[in-house]
Amino acid sequence: MPAGIYLHIPFCKSRCSYCDFATDVYRDSGAVERYVRALCLEISNFRSEISDPIDTIYFGGGTPSLLRPEQVEQILDSINLRFEISDLSEITMEMNPATVTPETLAAYRSLGVNRASFGVQTFDDRDLKLLARGHDANDARQTFRMLREAGFENVSFDLIAGLPGQTFDNWSRNLDEAIALDPKHISLYLLEIHQSTPLAEQLRTARRPMPDEDLAAEMYELMLDRLAAAGYDQYEISNFSRPGFASRHNSKYWTLDPVFGFGVSAHSFDGHQRYANERDTAKYVELIESNKTGEVMREDTDIASEFVFLGLRLESGINLAAYKQRFGIDLQTKYAEELNDMTVSGLVEIVNGNLLLSRKGKLFSNEVFAVFV
């Protein structure tokens, strides 16, 4: 099975109020140059015993669309020198509104970038301000037009639901606009509050209303109905696509295919173990420049357990015969009591030999996953 490559680009125009990703504000082009050199060095020095072919590459961040096309080319050249890359590779770049021009998009496209994961989040200017996104809804509309004009057919929208003060009607209007623009793929995120962020502080000091979890669940259900009616397939709990446009890269995480991560805070799975790089950008660059690995964590994983709770995220669920063949035990025997309870509660079902989350199970998916962790 071909592997994927994840590249973390830790620079953004400004810091969003809810963000706890490993990312810095883009201030100094010299620091970005140095980071790109370190990233390329990490790729060139990658473990010589690994020779998996690659068929997906994903530039995530941060805001990778702040990279100059020459820097993207430099990174792709390093990958091409170290790995065997399939001609049919999916190459995704995360892009934020108002960070690209028609020229940079045309250049990315000519370098082989063929999928854009576009950080729309919401079409409501008030909410964009709350999130300190650094762009407005018109920027999103205009950048989407530019993506289309530059030949990006495969565009995914990221939307966030459950924002403080967001109403059901507001969410419904967001869905209307997203569907009208007709991207090939839509990803939904429910807002998570991370303790050290400005948004968490605003909620603690009651400057913003607390997000309403029941309302967020209603928003999720509305999304299921509206996107199904508009012809999108839900292939994963939070991901919807036109037929044939599911994310090949992200699917690797749910089917336990290897993904090698490069860059600060990048995580990897080599088919047996998970490992992660240093989370501080300056320290990461120093480690790589002194010919050390950026890796700071490595652990064995319980693959049988991950097979179940990651596979259950997929609409297709997990195939019970495949589980038995891979792990030598019958899943329905191993978890007899738990599966019985969850079936009676209407959280899971077995259809054609596959164990699946029901619609109710999707709403309470964390409770189901906890059984298998």
Which residues of the chain form contacts with ligand SF4 (CB under 6 A)?
Answer: 12, 15-16, 19, 21, 23, 61-63, 96, 119
Q: Answer for the pair 254, 365: CB distance below 8 angstroms, yes or no.
A: no
The CA distance from 109 to 96, in Å, is 16
61 or 261: CB nearest ligand SF4: 61
Least Å distance, CB 130 to ligand SF4, is: 13
Cα Rg, the chain, nearest whole Å = 21
Least Å distance, CB 162 to ligand SF4, is: 15
Least Å distance, CB 194 to ligand SF4, is: 10
Least Å distance, CB 107 to ligand SF4, is: 21
134 or 361: CB nearest ligand SF4: 134
14 or 86: CB nearest ligand SF4: 14
Least Å distance, CB 21 to ligand SF4, is: 4
Least Å distance, CB 133 to ligand SF4, is: 7
Least Å distance, CB 317 to ligand SF4, is: 31
Least Å distance, CB 191 to ligand SF4, is: 11
| Burial label, 308 (beta-carbon count in 10 A; 0-12, 13-18, 19+) | buried
116 or 371: CB nearest ligand SF4: 116
119 or 294: CB nearest ligand SF4: 119
15 or 68: CB nearest ligand SF4: 15
β-bridge partners, 357:
348
134 or 294: CB nearest ligand SF4: 134
120 or 355: CB nearest ligand SF4: 120
